[in-house]
Chain A
Amino acid sequence: MRGHLSSVKGGEPDWGGQLGSERSGVRMDEDVLTTLKILIIGESGVGKSSLLLRFTDDTFDPELAATIGVDFKVKTISVDGNKAKLAIWDTAGQERFRTLTPSYYRGAQGVILVYDVTRRDTFVKLDNWLNELETYCTRNDIVNMLVGNKIDKENREVDRNEGLKFARKHSMLFIEASAKTCDGVQCAFEELVEKIIQTPGLWESENQNKGVKLTHREEGPGGGACGGYCSML
């Protein structure tokens, strides 16, 4: 089930930021194209840590403790033949822990925003999270993904279409998933990474990206053009 929207973000490509690899001290492997920093946010209890655990260890642990502050996991994946190392920061979500998170927005290339399809209040709170994202993100071309989690449960309160609509409105990728049954989890991360890699300037290291030359030098008299009358006098 690949239910996603392509994001339609405008804006100038950035010149790549500081990569997660440098900050997290993880050495870049030879064949790894790049290290990407990804952040998971959303209300507490929506299943952020479970999604991450499912993705990195392919397990579901009903005994998973509530996150304190931020947690951190690493996984290397291959998208379209490109290997990317993901440094994923999982956040707690409780009001009081939020003061910690803004620092982790810095330099992130992708953000996964999670809500629980069986708890409408977690969907309603998405606006707050987006606000925070806007305030603390240092770049404007970061790739955002919306994930509606726990679709295995029966008492659904948020319709898939509502999620879709929200994602479209805010130019995000969208997918519904279940950390428990594994639905959509792998796909969500792959899709996000693919999108990041497709966004020019978002992931390249600084020296890979030469950027645009601004100088419009006036044509000199060299070469074929004789520069018109000026050079004749």
Chain B
Amino acid sequence: MAADSEPESEVFEITDFTTASEWERFISKVEEVLNDWKLIGNSLGKPLEKGIFTSGTWEEKSDEISFADFKFSVTHHYLVQDSTDKEGKDEVLEDVIPQSMQDLLCMNNDFPPRAHCLVRWYGLREFVVIAPAANHDAVLSESKCNLLLSSVSIALGNTGCQVPLFVQIHHKWRRMYVGECQGHGVRTDFEMVHLRKVPNQYTHLSGLLDIFKSKIGCPLTPLPPVSIAIRFTYVLQDWQQYFWPQQPPDIDALVGGEVGGLEFGKLPFGACEDPISELHLATTWPHLTEGIIVDNDVYSDLDPIQAPHWSVRVRKAENPQCLLGDFVTEFFKICRRKESTDEILGRSTFEEEGREIADITHALSKLTEPAPVPIHKLSVSNMVHSAKKKIRKHRGVEESPLNNDVLNTILLVLSNTFLVLDDIDITHALSKLTEPAPVPVHKLPVSNMVHSAKKKIRKHRGVEESPLNNDVLNTILLFLFPDAASEKPLDGSSSTDNNNPVSESEGYNLYNQFKSAPSDSLTYKLALCLCMINFYHGGLKGVAHLWQEFVLEMRFRWENNFLIPGLASGPPDLRCCLLHQKLQMLNCCIERKKARDEGRKTNTSDMYPGDAGRAGDQLGPDNLKDMDKEKGDVGKSWDSWSDSEEEFFECLSDTEELKGNGQESSKKGGPKEMTSLKPEGRLYQHGKLTLLHNGEPLYIPVTQEPAPMTEDLLEEQSEVLAKLGTSAEGAHLRARMQSACLLSDMESFKAANPGCFLEDFVRWYSPRDYIEEEVIDEKGNMVLKGELSARMKIPSNMWVEAWETAKPIPARRQRRLFDDTREAEKVLHYLAVQKPADLARHLLPCVIHAAVLKVKEEENLENISSVKKIIKQIITHSSKVLHFPNPEDKKLEEIIHQITNVEAIIARARSLKAKFGTEKCEQEEEKEDLERFVSCLLEQPEVLVVGAGRGHAGRIIHKLFVNAHRAAAMAPPEEELKRMGSPEERRQNSVSDFPPPAGRELILRTTVPRPAPYSRALPQRMYSVLTKEDFRLAGAFSSDTSFF
């Protein structure tokens, strides 16, 4: 063994001169590195503070050098010290022994919880290691080891470096180092013994003292006293009485809305196995003196219970199985599935409907037959086609600034949200389009339809194959659509109760950051249900099935004018995920359709019309009269209208009236022809303004509400607008496309204020474009004179143009700006074609949102500050990742991993609390101490047990060990018997009821003159560690070299 041989005496004998030049080069390279790192000379730092090895920062610097073609890495490890500590650097202190030699004796950092092994063995704050660069390389032969060591010795001597220099020999796993430290006239040799089997005489203190003394070979008698530090480490793996209570929920049990004790909408939490695997107790005697204590082969004073210091560390189970983490991970996996819903379920409901909805032209041809599927009658393509033709005609094909493809895309998109304004009378154009009036189609009762759709599913799949059993499905549907339970489906305008106390909590607004959905929304609940279905009820198939049912329900609600519950009313909330927006969009459609249908009903039954489809709540008292007057017309017209009303905001087919108001409208507008018309569609009287020509009050008209938009539609729209480019032509076209709303408002305004001028309109609509000045007229009176702003007066600017085009038509008879039928069908189609993978991607933000809320909630119960911090980080991180349209899988995985991590930490905290019985603790103060102790165990590598074996925590730990030991003794396995049989074990057991220690560490220190009695007295140290299959001695022996 390396330490047993005496390397220093053989160094020069084995020098092989054939390699001298390589060797010399190697030495000079070592010297170069030492010089580069400025490790030359003696730099004394502060004495080491207690615990600084753990609390301080360790750094390392590396370089590579080679010996011939064998590569070594040189690494400088050092504890970072304040720069002020190194001030004495330049003065060379002749008499002072090197820092490292002094550190050998320092007792402030014995047994550090986490440190480089050389630090642990020798108490060094700084050292350099030369080791083979490649992990599998090793310096094995003794001659090579010695060659290296002599290189070190020469390099140290040549440079005057006082930092200890080690070389690593043998295989790396053995952690064998030899080294040297040189000072002025002093040297320390670092030697090591490493054995598999412990020689009997070294298993106790007295034997080790003997080696130490013989190694020092001190010529003095009596020998100065040896100081001793001892640590025994005990490992507890068997937690006896303590059983990990958490079982994966029983999936088969379905009890009143709960599955295996899990409610829908709640996430599971916790580890399925004990996340704490071992407890290590270290009992330490930090400062013993030889002779005070007896520890030999027949007797030992070292009773762990009596040890002055106890410290504990826990070993965590690697990646314990955690429910929440699994839940989310499994859900995330759906994102990678390629199958469509149909493929998963077998061909089913969507096939027919889906195809029809998708293919509008095909659907058109079916119009003549009564079809169960509602299809809006005017095909978009027709509309666009004719509009396009009109534009072409106007401009001539060759001048067209846009290529046809671009234009087509634009028009297709626009047909959805804008109205293409043309010089040709738009109403006229529209009425022409409607002329070949489609045959009225009588829809089949919707309930029938859904009913039959459900039947179809059954038929296709057969009841028994159905991935979700009926009970589960019904429970979920009831959970998602609570309004279905009551006879009357939800009727109110808003389905989400915004006064809900949840909404005030800090977690509620997380949807904003995560782009998920509010935690009380349908979307969020759906995400949780799918998550649970995926985990417990049929996996992907179950997911596909539930989704199919969900889409059917959506169609049912659309057909029957039942609002969808769990969605905030109003236009889609762009801060939420797209799926949520789509559902909100559908709800907008339902709301408008419902209002229209109800308006129709009440009109025929001669009741107050309720301002169907408009800003009903804004209804002023002024137009009540108007409404009354109109009632008759409305009532009579509905019957003849069948489905074509879908083209109009609120429709009337009274062609006479159209002619009456529409055709007569002159280009100028103006009082003469117009005043005779009766005003229509007034919302309320404007506060101050009166019409310019006759001084009558100016009325604000009922206007069409803007079209609700989801983010994908908005994106499409702005893309189209941007594609028009920045030319004047493009800008003009862009304005034109967006003038639908302006035109509609102008028409409403004209209808509400017969005989009005553009000036009147502008004063309401864009007041700063009407400029008023005080002027003195001929009679010398101050009068207010107003006129349109310069930009409004530009001949044939778009405002003037639109004004001239606008007919006095109240909003309810205008073409709808928002085609709810079309939009609803688009949404329903969109929903129907979502694959489970798409769905999972849509909803993953909701699931992550829910998971974060869950860990937050669980953490609140435990109050772990480090977890609080991690959760905050997860939230910031997630909000960044999830705001991207298509977050990378890797980033999503990392978020999920973090959540799982937090779950494991909380589970560990619970496990420890249970093990230490913090809840059972009755005394408040003790309980607090114990809780603090447990939380330290989670966060620190090693925790001191206050009061050691006599403290509260100490007694609990003791009991844990005793119980485990007793259990092992009652049913001793063979191996245990063998261990108990050794004399060593018996000796150990005579002193305490603890099991034998898994490891023993001893540090022996003294200061003696070497090699002669008259040499300088220098630090000597030996560290030993003894475990079941490992024995190591690490010695540092210093000697005076002045006269040798």
Chain A residues in the interface with B (C-beta under 8 A): 12, 14-15, 17-18, 23-26, 43-45, 56, 62-74, 87, 89, 94-97, 99-100, 102-104, 106, 119, 122, 136, 138-139, 206, 211-212, 214-215, 219, 224-230, 232-233
Contacts and interface: CB of A to CB of B under 8 A. Distances in A.
Interface string B68-86: 0000000101000000000
Interface in B609-648: none
Given A25-B719, A62-B790, A70-B721, A224 B116 contact: yes
A36 to B, nearest CB: 14
A74 B721 CA distance: 13
A211 B880 contact: yes
B883 A71 contact: no
Interface of B: 58, 60, 75, 77, 111-117, 120, 129, 175, 233, 235, 280, 282, 313, 315, 574-575, 703, 706, 709, 711, 714-715, 717-719, 721-724, 726, 731, 734-739, 741-742, 745, 765-766, 768-769, 789-792, 794, 797-799, 873-874, 876-877, 880-881, 883-885, 891, 894, 897-898, 941-942, 998-999, 1025, 1027, 1030
Contact of A68 (B711, B719, B739): B739
A103 B874 contact: no
Contacts of B737: 69
B141 to A, nearest CB: 25
Contacts of A89: 718
B718 A17 contact: no
Contact of B719 (A24, A56, A136, A212): A24
Question: Residue among A214, A215, A225 with the most chain B CB within 10 A?
Answer: A214
Given A64-B791, A106-B574, A214 B874 contact: yes
Contacts of A215: 894, 897-898
A191 B87 CA distance: 48
Contact of A63 (B717, B791, B1025): B791
B883 A94 contact: no
Q: Give the 5 A-B residue pairs with the shortest CB-CB distance, closest first.
A: A69-B738, A103-B714, A24-B722, A99-B706, A45-B768
A23 to B, nearest CB: 6
Most chain A Cβ neighbours within 10 Å, of B768, B794, B799:
B768
Given A66-B797, A136-B574, A214 B789 contact: no
Contacts of B742: 68, 96
Contact of A228 (B112, B723, B790): B112
A14 B883 contact: yes
B650 to A, nearest CB: 19
Nearest to A102: B574
A138 B233 CA distance: 56
A220 B999 CA distance: 21
B792 A26 contact: no
Nearest to B762: A66
27 contacts: A15-B880, A25-B719, A25-B723, A45-B768, A63-B791, A66-B769, A68-B742, A69-B735, A70-B734, A72-B724, A74-B726, A96-B703, A96-B742, A100-B741, A103-B715, A122-B768, A138-B574, A214-B874, A214-B877, A214-B898, A224-B129, A225-B116, A226-B116, A226-B120, A229-B233, A232-B1025, A233-B998
Interface centre among B282, B574, B881, B897 (most CB of A within 10 A): B574
Contacts of B60: 224
B877 A226 contact: no
B95 to A, nearest CB: 33
A87 B719 CA distance: 12
Contacts of B1025: 232
Contact of B718 (A65, A68, A97, A103): A103
A233 B891 CA distance: 37
Given A136-B574, A226-B116, A233 B881 contact: no
A45, A65, A89 — which one has the most chain B CB atoms within 10 A of its CB? A65
B769 A226 contact: no
A122 B789 CA distance: 16
B539 to A, nearest CB: 29
A66 B120 contact: no
A219 B113 CA distance: 13
Contacts of B726: 56, 72-74
Contacts of B724: 72
Given A17-B883, A96-B745, A100-B706, A44 B769 contact: yes
A210 to B, nearest CB: 10
Contacts of B789: 45, 66
Contacts of A17: 883-884
Given A214-B874, A225-B114, A66 B884 contact: no
B752 to A, nearest CB: 15
Contacts of A103: 574, 709, 711, 714-715, 717-718
